[in-house]
Structure 1
Amino acid sequence: MLHCGKYVGSSVDMRGGGARLDNHTKAALTKTSREKKQRHHAELCKEGTEANLRILAVFGCDDQIKPYVPLVETIFIALLGTFVGQEKPRMYNPQPCYDLYDRIRYRAMMPDIDGNGLNGALPIYQGMVGVSSGRQTYRCVTCDQELAPNTSQRNHSRLVEPGNPLGPRRCIACEIIFADTGEERIRAADGSYKRISEPREKHKLWVTAGHADVCGNLACAAPRASGAGFNGWMEQSRCQNCASFLSYQKRRRVPDSQIKERQPQELELTARSHIWSEAEDQILSAKRTEGLKFQEIVARHFPKLNALLLSERHTFLKRKERKAKRTTMPKESTKAPDWTDDEIKILRNAMMSKETARAMLPLLPQRTISSIVTKMSYLRKTINQST
């Protein structure tokens, strides 16, 4: 049975595209390649596979043309239908990349061509030549926070226009407020943005006005207790189970008019009235320390409860334990004592004999490795300046 794969690539090598084509041919002949982890070279290295290369476009070595190569490559990928990975959209590319690709092919009425696609990334999302999207620094459109590459702020940012993978972004703090209220984050009088989300403050006023602080699903009405996971605020407040139920329907693209609220089982409603004893708390903490999952603890020790209630109770106990430690722990000074002349003499001798900071620990029991390294660095600077 004949098996075909199709792949579109590009090259801006100063030697010309032939150097890139030679790599593909060599991989097909020798069945070895440094790029074997990539789909197209993994396919070329399979036994019985042959390379069938075609040149689709050629440009001169012009720096003004070079940035547009990813755009041309993306056009050919859409024409030939070689973009793959939609079964795991968040692993390789964000969903808007696949939406854009499908929209292009649908509007252009492109026919399917035989062969499995081998392009795992959309070039225009990877960015201009030499500056990939992952290396570009964005700014939040609301609070102007810098979203630098390889940072938590960048990794958790969200697209403002879901269908535009290269479009503007919001930081996670601004996105949470926009998702909850449909409004942009509010700037304070001093020009800064509040760290605590405004919806939370509105929720507190809402509860103070007499509304019950419970899940907004009337069939559930689980209380917002300490340790309980909740999404949303005020009427849109949902417990963890109800929020997951709604989120599942939205992921399946169920129309808003057909979305239903979760209907809790009788066992769950009955379990909420359970009054925990000290012995039960000890069993729960001990079994979690042993590494048992909540489902296993339910089956063995709490058959009338469910895993979510045990998780919430365990979170509550951990918070209670941390709070108790903070209140009972004596407030000792965290400042390290000043370095003595004898300690500095030991360090100087160690530096002359090129001893490591770890080797100094037995001789300096009151110090940590980081403090020894810092002091040794300071002494070296002092010596260099004096010389």
Structure 2
Amino acid sequence: MNENRALANVRVLDLTRVLAGPLCGALLADLGAEVIKVEQPGSGDDARQFNPFVNGESSYFMNLNRSKKGVTLNLKTGKDIFLKMVETSDVVIENFKPGTMKKLGLDYEVLKEINPKIIYVAISGFGQHGPYSQLPGYDLIGQAMSGLMSVTGEADGEPLRAGGPVCDVMGGMTGAMGVLAALNHRHSSGRGQMIDISLQDTLVTSMMTLNQHYLVDNRVPQRRGNSYESAAPADSFRAADGWFVITVGNDKLWRVLVDLMEMPELLDMPEFETNFKRVQNGKELKKHIEKWSATRKVADLVEALLAAKVPAAPILDVKQVCTDPHIADARGMFVETDHPKAGRVRITNSALRLSETDAVVRSPAPTLGQHNDDVYQSTFGFAPDDVRAWKAAKII
């Protein structure tokens, strides 16, 4: 119902492909915005070809384009159509290489002349200006160029990317946050604005606690496995049947942990006397803890640690996450949609939980051009004969 949708009065034209941009649009759509995904006729979003597939349809694409309507439009030959759509829209999202929209005559400076209230989101690898702006931008490149990979991995191993596409995901979430801020500003000023999202910037932000070591002490943080620069023991540890983590952030918890392990001698060792010293001697500390944990099962270890108020958790694999009673059931992090071709498909839900206007997956991702007739005719008021002519000319 409209009154229970936070963004029910917002119309978004989503020109994006693959991950960061589509996620930005999906988050807005889950909050109730009318998000119209605009794709190239014939081919569509590249992600339509990404596995895994259900009945020939990409579930990768489905997850990132839920709750949207789908149309096709060639922006080169259908420029006038797009400009007409902008007149009654609130937000445009694109993730083309910087300069592409300007070449098409569809950049922010053009669009704001048509609709001064338009909010224009440009998501790119390195932003709209700067020496790197024309470089290709992908999740792996963002991870490499943000410093994240330099501190990910074992101390004696190679740099590693984070397992998930954290750069793209943070880029999409930051873009959605920018839209919400711009909508609020427009409410008071009546003016739209441009939002310049750099994937690299979002990960540089995520590195803030590590950046401080260089900014303050001129020290370059290095790879250190799963341990932390600022607290110890805060790491992964081996058990008899798997792995678990402990996070001890102060001396009180350290004494509780030592008591639980029945290793009082650790309290008398000067190298473990303070948190700072424990960080410096983390490898040796890990050996002592694993003497205790290696013969015990993960479930028993975590239960005992939590009972003693020591923060701990098992390291779950994806199957365990997808079937976990808290994550999957209580928190509802996976939902089912009925796709017109793929059928019943389970996808990952939004993490937003609002008491009055909750984020909801309202519909499955559209098939290519699924809503052409409805959107062009009913939403934007184009004549049926025009729509038929555009189809024949492959403009849509």
Asked which structure has the greater RCO (Cα within 8 Å, sep 6+), the reply is 2
Higher helix share: 1
TM over 0.5: no
More strand by share: 2
TM-score of the superposed pair, with normalisation by structure 2: 0.25
Q: TM-score, normalised by structure 1?
A: 0.25
